[in-house]
Amino acid sequence: MKDKYIDKLTPVQYEITQNKGTEQAFSGIYWDTKKDGVYRCVCCDEPLFSSEEKYDSGCGWPSFWDNLQAGSIREVVDCSHGMQRTEVCCNRCGAHLGHVFEDGPLPTGKRYCINSASLNLAEK
């Protein structure tokens, strides 16, 4: 499946979405974006998050308190790097997006911490 995206993605996008990489904090193009729109999977164009649920968590990555629609993302237990976290993937194509944490704002209490390189913003 990885080879399907090798010519479509930049090296950074490929490393993050296909090899579960992470961009440096405060380096991605969307971490502080305030534009209205829908954030889509950079690989398959699936709508994943809305600017209406985006907030500044201070972590250096785009953060959302909810995903756009049920079934658009998949959560997977990630025990890498000596810790247990919950990985977030695009449910349609399996691309690695980031992680979700239980320290976000109400009403969900979730913080979807997502790599900018895994997203494309379709502005309104």
Residues with active-site annotation = 113
Helix (H, G, I), strand (E, B) or coil at 79: coil
What are the backbone angles phi and psi of residue 120, rounded to the nearest 5°? -125, 130
- Measure the N-to-C terminal CA separation of the chain; round to a whole number of Å: 31
Spell out the alpha helix ranges (H) of the chain. 11-19
How far CA 80 is from CA of 8, 20, 84, in Å, comes to 27, 10, 7
